[in-house]
Amino acid sequence: MSQPHLLLGQTLAFTADPFAEGLSAARHEHRGAVLVEGGKIAETGPAAALRARHPDVPVTDYGEGLITAGFIDAHAHYPQTAIIASWGKRLIDWLNSYTFPEEMRFADPAYAAGIAARYFDLTLTNGTTTACSFCTIHPESVDAYFAEAQRRGLRALAGKTCMDRNAPDGLRDTPRSAYDDSLALLKRWNGHDRLTYVISPRFSPTSTPEQLEAMGALWAEHPTCRMQTHLSEQVDEVEWVHDLFPEARDYLDTYERYGLLGPGALFGHAIHLTGRERRVLKESGASLIHCPTSNTFIGSGLFDMEGLVDEGQRIGLATDTGGGSSFSMLRTMAAAYEIAQLRHRALHPAELYWLATEGSARALQLEDRIGNLKPGLEADLVVLDLASTPAIAQRADRAEDFWEALFPTIMMGDDRAVQAVWVNGKLAT
C-alpha cells in the first residue's frame, strides 16, 4: 500500500446534484486539503485541520491551484485520435471519408498500441482520468487500449465495435464473430484492475437485427458490463434508421426490442428524441451522453439539456473525439454552455463541472468509485491553475466569488490550465 500524501490547495466537491439542489450541492474550500492513501481519498477538509491531524505526512502544496476529481469522458473513439479536426463532412460522409479508412489500420497491433499510447498521453495532459471508448472491430484495438490503460493504472472502459453491414470490406464482422470476439475480450479484461468491458454495437445502421440480438444476448449473460451505442445524432440518420427498420416504433426501439436498453446502457448524442423515447429512456435507467463539440462540429443539433434534466434523465458529458474537436473536457464544458445558451438556458459553472465529473461517473454507474472528492473514492484528481494564461488571469483577477474565478478557465482553458494529474493516488503528470 502506498504511503499517505497530503495535497493542499483550493478544493471543490459535491454533496448532491447541483441541477437539483443548486449551489448548496457544491462545497468549495479556499484553503483545503485532500489526504491520499492506498490509491484512495482518505480524508478531505480544511488544510489547517488536516495538517494538524497528520503532521508527519508528506505534503504537496499547490497554492491557489484547484484540486477536484479528475475529468471523466463518457463517450470517445480513441481510434479516431489521428483524424481529429478533419474538415467539412456530415456524419455519414465523415465516417466514410475519414473514420472507416483510419479504423482499417487497427488490425495492426503495433499501430493500435501507438495510437492508444498517444490517446492517453493527450487525455491525461488535459486532466481526463477516465474515458469510455469505442475501439474498432479488431480485437487488437481493444487489447491495445486496455493494456495501455492498465500500464498507467487508469480506470478505463471500452469495447470492440461491432458492424456487420453498411461498412467497407475489412470493417465488417458477423453476428457470430461479434459475439465470440466480444465474449473473449470481456473475459480477458472486464473487472481486471480498473477496467470495464463495454458491449459496443456502433449504431443500428451498421448492425443487422441478428447482430443486435446477439449483442443483447451477450449483455444479458454479462450484466456487469456496460453497453454503448449511438442514438438520434442527426436528422438524416434517424430517417435512415426508419428505412432500415420499418417495423420499429422509433430509433430507440431498434435497441429496445433486442435487449439493448436498461441501466448501464450509454446512448451517445440523443438529440432528436421522440416523446416516447424520452419516456422509455427515463424509465429504463439508461444514460444519455452529451457530446457538444461533436454536435456543433458535425452539425448535428442542439442537445436539450434543460428539458432532459427536468425529466430526471441520467446525463454524462463527453468529447466524442475524433468527431468532437478537442480532447479537453474544459473545452467540452464550454461547448455545453454555448449549446445550452442557444436553447436559452445558462448553465452554471457548478452544473458544468458536475457534468464533467460526478455526472459522468453516475452515467457510467461508477459514482461509488470515482468522480468526486469524497473519502473512500479512488484518488483520481486534477489540479487546475485558474490563471493559466494572461487572458484568463486578468479576468479571474476581477472575480467577486469562486464561481466567477472558475468560469474563465471553463470557457477559455486548455491543457495549460492542468497543473497536475493524480491517477489512483499517484502523480501522473
pLDDT digits (tens, 9 = 90+) for 337-372: 999 999 999 999 999 999 999 999 999 999 999 999
> Please, where are the H alpha helices in 130-208?
139-152, 175-189
- Residue range 400-419, pLDDT digits in tens: 999 999 999 999 999 999 99
pLDDT at 2 over 80: no
Q: At what angle do helices 209-221 and 175-189 cross, to 10 degrees?
A: 30
Ranges of each domain in the chain:
5-70+372-427, 71-363
Record the cell numbers describing residue 192, joined without a space.
Answer: 481486471
* Structure confidence at residue 96 (pLDDT): 84
Comparing 186-190, 271-275, 297-301, 344-348, the range with the smallest average pLDDT is 297-301
Measured CA to CA in angstroms, residue 300 lies from 42, 292, 295 at distances of 43, 9, 5
The pLDDT confidence band at residue 88, using thresholds 50, 70 and 90, is confident
Is 169 buried (19+), middle (13-18) or exposed (0-12) by CB count in 10 A? exposed
Q: What is the mean pLDDT of residues 162-186?
A: 97
Residue among 367, 384, 415, 405 nearest 130 (CA)? 367
Rounded Cα distance, 339 and 324, in Å = 14
Residues in the chain: 429
pLDDT at 145 over 80: yes
Specify whether domain 71-363 bears CATH 3.20.20.140: yes
Percentage with pLDDT > 90 across the chain: 94
Record the cell numbers describing residue 259, joined without a space.
Answer: 435487449
pLDDT at 91 over 90: no
Ramachandran angles phi, psi of 106, nearest 5°: -85, 5
Q: Is the dihedral of CA 213, 112, 382, 324 positive or negative?
A: negative
Q: What is the mean pLDDT of residues 198-218?
A: 98
pLDDT at 1 over 80: no
Measured CA to CA in angstroms, residue 363 lies from 200, 230, 292, 355 at distances of 16, 15, 16, 9
- Residue range 99-139, pLDDT digits in tens: 999 999 999 999 999 999 999 999 999 999 999 999 999 99
- What number does CATH give the domain 5-70+372-427? 2.30.40.10
- In order, the DSSP letters of 248-293 are SSSTTHHHHTTT--STTEEEEE--S--HHHHHHHHHHT-EEEE-HH
pLDDT at 384 over 60: yes
Q: What is the mean pLDDT of residues 316-336?
A: 96
Record the cell numbers describing residue 282, joined without a space.
Answer: 427515463
Determine the distance from the C-alpha atom of residue 330 to the mean position of all C-alpha atoms in its chain, rounded to a whole number.
12
For the chain, give the mean pLDDT. Answer: 97
